A and B are shown apart, each in its own frame.
Chain A
Amino acid sequence: MEQGLLLSAMLFALGLLGVLVRRNLIMILMSLEVMLNATGLAFVVAGSRWGQADGQIMFLLILALAAAEVGVGLGLALHIFHRFATLDADSINEMQG
């Protein structure tokens, strides 16, 4: 029980760390996946704690969301690469105030 939540929290923190420190867009997207899965894990663990199927249903929804997110995200990444010939998130900073 606690171990499950702990694992999920660690995964989430790792994913967030990845989002914050990696500069490659692909790696940022992958870190986002890690964060999503960490959340999913938390739902599943909580569902098993209360003996209800809700947690697993939520996980299915999160999977669908993650798939959609990856589809859009990779499409954007592809387009950005075509346009700027780089995937460095820091060097693509034209939209600033």
Chain B
Amino acid sequence: MLKLLNWVPLLPFFGFLILTLSSQGFSRLLAPWVGIGSVGISALLVFLIGFEFQHGPMQPYRLVMGSWIAIDGLSIPFGLYLDALSMTMLYVVTGIGLLIHVYSAEFMECDPGYPRFFAYMNLFVSAMLVLVLADNLVLLYLGWEGVGLGSYLLIGFWYEDRDNGYAARKAFVMTRIGDTALALGLLLLYTQLHTFDIQSLMLQAAHQWTPGALIAIVSASLLLGGAVGKSAQLPLQTWLPDAMAGPTPVSALIHAATMVTAGVYLIARTHELFILAPTVQFAVAMIGVVTLLISGCSAIVQTDIKRILAYSTISQIGYMFLALGVGAWSSAIFHLLTHAFFKALLFLAGGAVIFCVHHEHNIFKMGGLRKTMPLTFWSFMIGSAALSALPFTSGFYSKHEILLAAFDNSSVLWAAGCLGAVITGIYSFRLVFVVFFGSQSPVVEKKFGRFMSTPLILLSILALFGGMLHIPLDSVFPAVFYPNHEHPLVSAITVAAPLLGLLIAVLFYLNGTVSAQHLANFKWVEPIRQFLLTGWGIDSLYDSLLVQPFKLIAQHNKNDAIDRPYLGIAWLSRKLHCMASASQTGRVRWYAGSMALGAVVVIAIGLLS
């Protein structure tokens, strides 16, 4: 069964090819079958492979699909590498991917670009599978760029709207900054260690470099740059909220469950390198903490349902970075897994709300949806509970692990993480209370059917009980030493933090004991709200710091000296053209005369020479 591993990324790719190459009318009928079928079979394969893998010796398995680049001394194969880490990622990508594909079959049904949607989704899933299965950094980079392409295509899926195209380009360019760092990083690793194979790279690095060596720090920072761009962490996080311009299933699959966690996967995959560079590892933790606080605060004031979820995604990935930074590798992957469950659930439920209230995104124009949409309400409730890590939901287990690991490392990191948990509680239940409680109720125009409700139910179950899953990552990561004497007060505060957030949300948005309206009356509140609403003004900061100066330079540089000769050539040929064109008078006699003159000249030359 393990031999069939190569079909896991290939099947969605074939799905993409079939959907792209077949004609419009044909593929419209075919689209859901091919789109869901390819991912479905590949998910089935993953589960069979996973069963065999976990009941086997848990040895890493390698499969070479063929040679990609083979130049003198350098050979890069299409090599797949399966260990517990990539197995976990396979479960996430194909399992969640399948549920989201099924959901999209109904969600996107009336869209004219239905086949195109499934083609792009299949392309994305295939690239993501290549990314997590790659055994060398170049193949990983291929998948890394492939998911970037898929993300770009799907954010700009409704390309008729200029804003969507802008959002797609923004996401592409912002992640490209990180990707450049990643490319430099892997080339640097190659020049130092003469191989692209991840496992031997890590082995040699640990062998040859001393901890804290400059080369280790530089290469780890470059890889971190790539991870920061892809995972939308500070300072490259501004693309993710805009990426919500894409269809909601896309946000669920790419911008919540899979692609944005690729950075976490990359750091976990190359964790030996980060252990060799403790400063960079600490930077990972700091980036995570700062990002989770900043984006959490932004999430509190957003009014667009999808933007709230986007900021919350950035914040939760901040937790994963925090876990990576404090060396709790498996906790980070565990949080990645549970986050994929509950965030995909939240996005799909949010999509169902948007679907039913006729594409309204503003949460304050919703309200009282609890009675009209009970299934969506309960899924959203479960998702929010897991997101804010209320006890006994899946998010609780993973976040608790992360925060305790952070406490071992530094109490400041832990305190910031707990503050973040309070904020998470506030914004997630603010969302629930505003959308589903209250009196005002918009007209629910449509009902959705089985294709959309089944994924919601399955994901709800996973989001509730996903914390019980035991992922056997001990074979991949170095054992983390957890102190036995767990501080009871620390544990208590960690558990209580989200509850405090919930309480605040209840007071503000359910009870009305403290009204947010009342708070808005203070003069100093509004500027802060605006500041947070724009994501701490980072977009305008980049605009004035980078975009405007660049435009200014470009403006000045538009007519430089080098252009002159080329402009001269253009001028000369235009003049020649005018002259030649003037000789074409349209008069027959003029032509006959010129021919006679020409003949005389030619004959004269012939006679006289």
The chain A residues found within 8 Å of chain B, CB to CB, are: 16, 19-21, 23, 28, 89-90, 92-97
Q: Are B586 and A16 in contact (CB under 8 A)?
A: no
Q: Are B583 and A97 in contact (CB under 8 A)?
A: yes
A20 to chain B, nearest CB (A): 5
Contact of B586 among A20, A23, A93 (CB under 8 A): A93
Verify if B110 is at the interface (C-beta below 8 Å from A): no
Q: Are B584 and A97 in contact (CB under 8 A)?
A: yes
With contacts A20-B596, A93-B585 known, what are 18 further pairs, Cβ within 8 A? Answer: A16-B596, A19-B589, A20-B589, A21-B589, A23-B589, A28-B589, A89-B588, A89-B589, A90-B589, A92-B586, A92-B588, A93-B586, A93-B587, A94-B586, A96-B585, A96-B586, A97-B581, A97-B582
Determine chain B's interface SS by DSSP, over half rule. helix
B597 to chain A, nearest CB (A): 10
Across-interface contacts of B589 in A (CB, < 8 A): 19-21, 23, 28, 89-90
Across-interface contacts of B586 in A (CB, < 8 A): 92-96
- 30 residue pairs of the A-B complex, CB under 8 angstroms, read A16-B596, A20-B589, A20-B592, A20-B593, A20-B596, A21-B589, A23-B589, A28-B588, A28-B589, A89-B587, A89-B588, A89-B589, A90-B587, A90-B589, A92-B586, A92-B588, A93-B585, A93-B586, A93-B587, A94-B586, A95-B584, A95-B586, A96-B584, A96-B585, A96-B586, A97-B580, A97-B581, A97-B582, A97-B583, A97-B584
- Residue among B581, B583, B584, B587 with max Cβ neighbours from chain A (10 Å): B587
Across-interface contacts of A96 in B (CB, < 8 A): 584-586
Q: Which residues of B in the span 547-596 have a Cβ within 8 Å of any Cβ on A?
A: 580-589, 592-593, 596
CA distance A93 to B582 in the complex (A): 13
Q: Which residue of A is nearest B585, CB measured?
A: A96
Across-interface contacts of A93 in B (CB, < 8 A): 585-587
Q: Which residue of B is nearest A94, CB measured?
A: B586
CA distance A21 to B596 in the complex (A): 13
Total count of chain B residues near the partner, CB < 8 A: 13
Q: Which are the 6 A-B pairs with shortest beta-carbon distances?
A: A93-B586, A96-B586, A97-B581, A97-B584, A95-B586, A89-B588
Across-interface contacts of B585 in A (CB, < 8 A): 93, 96
The chain B residues found within 8 Å of chain A, CB to CB, are: 580-589, 592-593, 596
Across-interface contacts of A89 in B (CB, < 8 A): 587-589
Q: Which residue of A is nearest B580, CB measured?
A: A97
Across-interface contacts of A97 in B (CB, < 8 A): 580-584
B128 to chain A, nearest CB (A): 59
Across-interface contacts of B592 in A (CB, < 8 A): 19-20
Across-interface contacts of B582 in A (CB, < 8 A): 97
CA distance A96 to B587 in the complex (A): 8
Q: Which residue of A is nearest B582, CB measured?
A: A97
CA distance A26 to B585 in the complex (A): 21
CA distance A40 to B588 in the complex (A): 24
CA distance A39 to B530 in the complex (A): 94
CA distance A53 to B589 in the complex (A): 36
Q: Which residue of B is nearest A16, CB measured?
A: B596
CA distance A41 to B27 in the complex (A): 75
Across-interface contacts of B588 in A (CB, < 8 A): 28, 89, 92
CA distance A23 to B587 in the complex (A): 10
- Residue among B582, B588, B593, B596 with max Cβ neighbours from chain A (10 Å): B588
Q: Which residue of A is nearest B578, CB measured?
A: A97
Across-interface contacts of B584 in A (CB, < 8 A): 95-97
CA distance A70 to B586 in the complex (A): 22
A11 to chain B, nearest CB (A): 15
Q: Which residue of B is nearest A96, CB measured?
A: B586
CA distance A87 to B584 in the complex (A): 20
A92 to chain B, nearest CB (A): 8
- Residue among B582, B589, B593, B596 with max Cβ neighbours from chain A (10 Å): B589
A46 to chain B, nearest CB (A): 17
Across-interface contacts of A94 in B (CB, < 8 A): 586
Across-interface contacts of A20 in B (CB, < 8 A): 589, 592-593, 596
CA distance A97 to B583 in the complex (A): 8
CA distance A26 to B437 in the complex (A): 95
CA distance A97 to B584 in the complex (A): 5
CA distance A5 to B593 in the complex (A): 23
- Residue among A20, A92, A96 with max Cβ neighbours from chain B (10 Å): A96
B607 to chain A, nearest CB (A): 15
CA distance A23 to B590 in the complex (A): 11
Q: Which residue of B is nearest A21, CB measured?
A: B589
CA distance A92 to B580 in the complex (A): 20
CA distance A94 to B587 in the complex (A): 8
